Structure 1
Amino acid sequence: MNEPVPFSSATSSDTSAITSSSPDFSALCRIARDILGAPFACMWQSGNLWLASTEDRAFGLSAIADVRIALPLGKTSPLLVVRDTLDCPALAKRTWVDGEPHVRFVAVLTVATPEACHFEPCHLAVLDTQPRDLDDDQRRRLLDVGALAAQALQLAWEAQLASLQEKEFRLLAETSTDTIVRGNLDGIRLYISPSVRSLLGYEPEELIGLRAIDIVHPDDLGSFGALMASIRAGELETGVSEVRQRHKDGHWVWMEASVRLTYDPATGKPNGYVASVRDIQRRKQAESHLEYLASHDTLTGLANRAIFDRRLADAVFHARRDGRRFALFCMDIDRFKRINDTFGHQAGDAVLREAAMRLQVAIGAEDIAIRLGGDEFALIQMLDDADAAVSAANMAQRLIDVMARPIFFRGSEILAGLSIGIAVAPQDGPDADLVLSAADRALYAAKLGGRNTYRFASC
C-alpha cells in the first residue's frame, strides 16, 4: 500500500500546509517491516497514514488507533517497545490483542519534526503477531530509518516554507503600487510586476526580454545609460534614477527607480539588479509649478527679477566672449498711478497683464521680456551684426505703438503710454550693473522728454 489513507486525527490548521505535502513514507515502512521481519509497519503524521503490510489492508489499523492514544509515545524515549502486549496493562484488554489479528508485539519510533513548524510528531510503528524483543542491530537500524524520516520531513518543511515565502513575495510584488523589476546585467528585464499596467500601459509580458532604455526619453538617455553602465560593470550597489519613459499610448511618464545590484548566492558575483519603480508625475508637475512660481511674475506670467539677473549676466558674458551685442530696455507705463487712482487697482492689474501680453507678442524669439516690479518692465534684445541702434530703435517704436492702443476694462477705455530707456552693450557698459544703470538713465531722459517715447543711453 503506497498511498496515504485517511486517518482519524485532530489536525490543527497550523499543520495543514506541511502535511499536505509530507513525503511519501511507504518505502520507509517497508524497510522497517523488513528489518524486523514483521507483517505490518506504518507511519502517521497528522492526518496522513502510510502502510506497509503483508496482510490484509485493515491489519493493524485498529491497533494503531489505540496505540497512539494508550501509550506515552515519545515521552521518555524516541523508541518505545512493547515486547508482549499481554504484559502491558494499557493494551492487554484491547480487542486486537486477544482477538484478530492477535497483535502481541508493538514498537513505535517517534520521529522529530522540524522545531520551527511546531507540528505533530511523525510516528513509525511495527506490529507482529509474536512476542519478541529487539536486538541492538535492529534498534540501530530502526533508529536510522527514523533519522531518514526526520531528514525527509526537514526537507519537506523547508520546501514548503520556501513555497510559502515565494507566494508571499509574489503577493507583495504583484499587489505593490510600485512596479518591481528584475533584470540582468545587460539591462534586460527578466520580471516585471503587474502594476506596470497602470504605470506604462503595458502588460508585463510585453516588456519582459526588452531593455528599459529602449523607451527612455531622449533627454534622459545620458543619465540613464550611465546608470545601466554601472550595473553592467557591477559597480552600482544602490542608486536612484529619475527618468521619463514612453507610455504605450505615446506620452511620457516621469518615474523614479530605486535600483539595487544583486549577487549570485553561489559565486558572490553580480548577476543583475532589482528596481522599485514609482510614478512621480505629480511630484514633477508640482516641482515644475514651484520652479515656475520662483522664476515668473504671478500677475503677468513674465519672467521675474531672478530670471532677469541671470539672462542679463549671460548676455554680458557672451558680449565679452563672442562680441554679440544686445540692447537692454528699461520701461515704465506712463502715468500708471493715475490709472490706479482713476479706475482702481483691478484696472491697474488688467493694464499690467495687457502690457505683458503685448510685449510678448512684439518681441523676437531670442528676446525676453521681464516684469521688474510695479509698472516697471525690462527687455533684453539680442542684436545682429547690422546697425544695433536701428534695430533697437525699431523695437522701441514697435513697443510704444502696441501700447498706444486703448485697453478696455469693464466698459472703460484706458490709454497707457510707454517710456523706454535703451542701453546697448558692450558700448554702454562692460558689466551688468553698468548696462542697467545706463538704461535707467536713458529711461529718466525719456520721461523728461515728454513720456511715450524712447531714449538711448549714448545720446
Structure 2
Amino acid sequence: MPVSSATSSDTSALAAGSPDFAALCRIARDLLDMPFACLWQGDHVGLAGSDDGTFGRSVAAALQTGLPPDDPASPLLVLGDTRDGPALAKLSGIAGEERVRFLAVLKVPVPAACHLEPCRLAVFDTRPRDFDADQRRRLLDLGTLAGQALQLSWQAELARLQETEFRLLAETSTDTIVRGNLEGIRLYISPSVRALLGYEPEELIGHRAIDIVHPDDRESFGALMAEIRAGKLETGASEVRQRHKDGHWVWMEASVRLTHDPATGAANGYVASVRDIQRRKQAESHLEYLASHDTLTGLANRAVFDRRLAEAVLQAQRDGRRFALFCMDIDGFKRINDTFGHQAGDAVLREAARRFQAAIGDDDTAVRLGGDEFALIRMLDNTDAAVSVTTMAGRLIDAMARPILFRAHEIQATLSIGIALAPQDGLDVDQILSAADRALYAAKLGGRNTYRFASR
C-alpha cells in the first residue's frame, strides 16, 4: 500500500477533500514527543518521522496489514516494549536490527453513518517507553479530532458529489431551472434558457422574471409571485408569455415553489421549473379555432351563432338593446355546383365569406350555418337602426353582384336576405329565427337578389 511520508520540513500530497494525514501525524509526534507517527485509512496513509522516512514507511506498511484484531473493549493498544507482544515481533520492520520497541495504536472514532473504512493512528519508537495517563488522554483527544476531521471531510465530499449531481440534473434538464430570492431577483438560471429564450444565463441573473413578461400576463404573474414570496402559497403554476431575445413572445409554463432556510425555517426564496409550451398553446388555439369556425370559409360556425344570438336576445330583454338578424342564401347555388362542379361551389362559398367579412363592421358577427346558408348578427344604435340595416343589406347584395373568378370561368352569384329586428319581431331566439326565415322566403319569392324585412 502507498505511504505518504513527511519530515519536519515537507508535507505529503493528499487526495483532494481528505484531511492532511501528514499534518495530523506531525501533531501526534510533537504532542507525544515521539520520533514516529503514522495515520492510515485504507490506501490513504500519512507519516511523520525523524529520519529520512525509510524505516517509518516500512513500519507503517507492516502495521497496516499486521495488527491483531481490534479489542472491542478498548480502542487503544499500547505496548511499552514490543518484546512483550510476540504477535508483533514477527512483523516486517519491527523485527530486525532496527526495530520498533514502543508502540501505541488508536482506532480513530468515526460515526458509523459515515460508512468510512477503519482509521488508525499510531506512534512508535525504537526504544521501550512508558506511556502515562496524560499521554493516553492526549492521544485519545487527538484521535477524536482526527475522527471529526474525517467526518467533516466525508460530509464535504458528500456535499460536493451531491452538488455535482444536482448541477448535472439542472444543467442537462430540458426544463429551465431558476433560483430566485424573495425580492424576485434571479440568482441562478440553468443553461437550457439559451434554447428557451435565447439569452445566456448571465444576462438574466440579477433581474426579475416579470421584466420580460408579456403586458397582458404581467398582472396575473405578478400576483402569483407576490403570494409565493409572502408565504401565502407554497407552490404555484403559471402560464405566461416571455420575450425572447430576438423580440418574439414565447409561451411557457412555470412551476414555482417557495424555499425555506433549513436552519430557521424562514422563507428565503423560490425555485421554478420552466418549460416551453408554445406547441401546446398553438395546438390549443387551433382546436379552439376549429371548435368555433367553419373549416371551409373561416367564418364563425353554428355553435358561435347560437351563443351569440342568445347573448343578443338577453341584452335586448335586459337593456332594450336592439339588433338585426340577417339570414342569407346564395341564389342558384345548386345550379353553380351542377354546372361548374363542387370545387367551384366551394370557391364561391369562400369568396362570399371573404366579401361578407369585408363589408361588415368590427362588432358584427358573420356566420356560415351550412351549405349556402349564412347569417349576420348586427347590434344597432337606437338612432339610425333602420338606415343601418338597409345600408348593410344593400352593401352585402352589391358585394355578391361582382362575378367570381374560378379557373377560366366567371361565375355570377346573387344573394337573398331576410331580416328580423329585435325587439319588434320577437324577444326570444326561436321567434327571431322564425321571423328572419320568413323574410328570407319572401325575398326569394320577390325575385331573389334582394332583401325583405320580417315586419313589412
How high is the TM-score relative to the length of structure 2? 0.90
Offset from partner CA, 1:182-240 (integer Å, 9 cap, x none): 11222111211111111111111111121111111111122112102202321111111
Is 1:49 matched with 2:56? no
Q: Decide which of 45, 64, 67 is 2:63's aligned counterpart.
A: 67
Q: Secondary structure at the match of 1:60?
A: helix
Q: CA deviation at 1:408?
A: 3.2
Which residue does the alignment assign to 1:277? 274
Separation in structure 2 between the aligned mates of residue 176 and residue 98 of structure 1, nearest angstrom: 61
Task: Tell me how far apart the structure 2 counterparts of residues 203 and 83 of structure 1 sit (CA, whole Å).
Answer: 67
1:5 alignment partner AA: S
The residue identity in structure 1 corresponding to 2:64 is: R
State the superposition RMSD in angstroms. Answer: 2.5
Quote the Cα distance in structure 2 between the aligned partners of 1:109 and 1:428: 106
Structure 2 SS opposite 1:5:
coil
Partner-residue secondary structure (3-state), 1:234 = coil
Which 10-residue stretch deviates more, 279-288 or 33-42?
33-42
Which whole-Å CA distance do the structure 2 matches of 1:350 and 1:255 have between them? 39
Say which is worse superposed, 431-440 or 445-454, in terms of deviation.
431-440
Q: Secondary structure at the match of 2:296?
A: coil
Which residue of structure 2 lines up, in the alignment, with residue 216 of structure 1?
A: 213
For 1:33, the aligned partner's letter is R
Query: What is the CA-CA distance between 1:287 and the residue it aligns to?
Result: 0.3
Check if 1:109 corresponds to 2:110.
Answer: no
Q: Percent identity at matched positions? A: 75
TM-aligned CA deviation for residue 161 of structure 1: 0.6
Q: Is the 8 A contact 2:242 2:252 kept in 1?
A: yes
Indicate the residue corresponding to 1:442 in structure 2: 439
For the Cα contact (< 8 Å) 1:4–1:49, is it kept in 2?
Answer: no
Instruction: From 295, 310, 313, give the equivalent of 2:292.
Output: 295
Task: Look up the equivalent residue of 1:176 and give its one-letter code.
Answer: S
SS at match of 2:89: coil
1:307 — aligned with what? 304
Contact 1:5/1:49, CA 8 A, preserved across alignment: no
**Counterpart residue identity of residue 402, structure 2:** R
What secondary structure does 1:267 align onto?
coil
Instruction: Measure the CA separation in 2 of the matches of 1:318 and 1:399.
Output: 26
Instruction: Render the CA deviation track for 1:369-395: whole Å, top value 9, x for unaligned.
Output: 100111110011233444322221221
1:95/1:281 CA distance change after superposition, 3 Å:
closer
Match of 2:36 in 1: 40
TM-score (norm 1): 0.90
Hey, what does 1:186 align to over in structure 2? 183
Contact kept, 8 Å, 1:105 with 1:131, in 2: the verdict is yes
49-58 or 269-278, larger mean C-alpha shift: 49-58
User: For residues 77-123 of structure 1, what are the alpha-carbon distances to aligned partners after superposition, in whole Å with 9 as ceiling and x for unaligned?
Assistant: 53334443345455435674455543212222222545455443222
Distance in structure 1 (CA, Å) of the matches to 2:71 and 2:281: 67
Match for 2:76 among 71, 74, 79? Answer: 79
Query: 1: CA distance between counterparts of 2:158 and 2:90?
Result: 43
Aligned partner of 1:206 in structure 2 is 203
Q: CA 1:387 to 1:68, structure 2 compared with 1: closer, same or farther past 3 Å?
A: closer
Retained in 2: the 8 A contact 1:74–1:109?
no
Is 1:5 matched up with 2:12?
A: yes
Residue in structure 1 matched with residue 20 of structure 2 by the alignment:
24
Alpha carbons 2:425, 2:431 under 8 Å: kept: yes
Work out the CA distance in 2 between the residues paired with 1:96 and 1:383: 111
Answer yes or no: is 1:249 the counterpart of 2:250. Answer: no
Aligned residues: 448
- Larger mean CA deviation between 230-239 and 345-354 belongs to 345-354
